[in-house]
Structure 1
Amino acid sequence: MIVRNGQHLLGMLAVMACLTSNAHGQFAAKAGKVYVANTSGENIVLACVSYIDENGVRQTIKGGAWTIKPDARGHLTDQGTSFTASRFDFTIQTTSGKTDWHVNTLDADGDLTINFDRNLLARHNARLVPPLRLAGAGGGGAGPTPREVEAAVGKIIGAAVAQAIASQEPENVFQALLIEAARRVRDELVEGALKDVFSDRPLHEIQAARRVISLGLDGKLSVDALNREQAREALLGRLKAIDPDIGAGAQIADFIYTVLQARKR
């Protein structure tokens, strides 16, 4: 894969791996109740809510999914009980697939309110760290320079390391965050390169292509046993399954085949 300024991205893409699309939050608080507020304008779903108590033991608050409707505010705990926690962990997923959160300061009673607001959810696929959206990347413009890529990747990895150091489970969290950071870098680079190569194609086709490439790079889709023509037909079928209205499917399938073959080098 080559973006418009001639920088090769295949080597980076080949080593990237994918984790879950959900994001995780970690927050410290004093003794008090934990509330959740939702001013985002859409339903928010929380799952796997737990906290680390003063003795370093994980306590589960809610094991299943919990939907918070817009403009709602409620206790994070089932009974609204008070407790002291050094860290809160939870997974969130909005109906639009975007993930983010905002933590308000503790109020006078020592309570913590986690607020999901419209501004945060409106950001581009907001995550633990800012997305890798480099100036000039995609949209038919010049691709990112090596220095820009290095700086952006450094910020993402740095944020992952800082988060892991602050965690009480450094080994597991460190590994997970590095993989997640790598996935974000990979997906942003793939989408930027696709926008450069297929600058005249609509966004929904670019996104379908990125999904197929991600499947291949994650080892969930292989064309290694097929010749070029067979592989293009298989990839075209996968593209149309994702986006039945794709217009440049043959050209995009050929491009995807080139990317997936290059990952073996």
Structure 2
Amino acid sequence: MGPLAQPPPHSGSQPSQERTPTARLEMTGISVSFGGVAALSDVSLTVEPGQVHGLIGPNGAGKTTLFNVACGLVRPSAGRIVWRDQELRRLKPSQLSGLGISRTLQGVGLFAGLTVLENVMIGAHRHAKAGFFSALLALPTADKDDRLLRERAQQALVELGAESYADRYPGSLPYPVQKRVALARALVAEPDLLLLDEPASGLSEDEMHELGELIRAVTTRMSVLLVEHHMDLVMRVCDRITVLDSGQQIAAGTPAEVQANPAVTEAYLGDDVDVEADAAELASGGSNA
């Protein structure tokens, strides 16, 4: 369907063969308060292995706060995070890579002073075998690492159709291309869990469709937690959806179950709810809140 939808080739030093996802993320009873104001109250969700789990809700619902809890950027005041059957206590963003978790943020978060290739190589660093002193002393193991990481990064850019920008700097690229580079940096780590925060922002309709194809394709090797405003994308790619409103969990289920839930259509579309008509509007992306 396009460069975003192409499956990654596997050979030599390129990313490893596809593997069956087995890791599960469980967030149970998550509550967060800022200055005495409750941003989240007793929210729970489970991202099953090999599934895409959508997190949606109107503006101010608490989606980004919950996403940041999963990233270790926000520490919950109550609740548990369990990953690979182990509880994560005092999770920090620096731990994510070692745990097999990659993320993208609402902005692209690229380093302006590094080329596109170098930005993606940073994401591949969990595969490096040489240590800091090997690199500092320019030992042969460090040279080999650099070559292998460079090859991994090149292949990730090919997968995302961005290989022609490898030597460019992010600031010289259109925003949609920067989004591709940020996604390549997350995928090159070969995570077991991919956290995507509004990956479709700034994309055209065709690019959004290709993104949906890619998200579905990567579930053969990882699970995905997706925060997104574009309801048509969410309903098309997600296996399950959790809906927040004002920090409260108001619904959870399959896309069809969520579409038919009056509490969801009311949260998005107002108090006068015609379930069938409003669910159809929500599914078609008529509300982009």
Q: TM-score, normalised by structure 1?
A: 0.28
Which of 1 and 2 has higher RCO (CA within 8 Å, sep 6+)?
2
Determine which structure has more spread, i.e. the larger CA radius of gyration.
1
TM-score (norm 2): 0.27
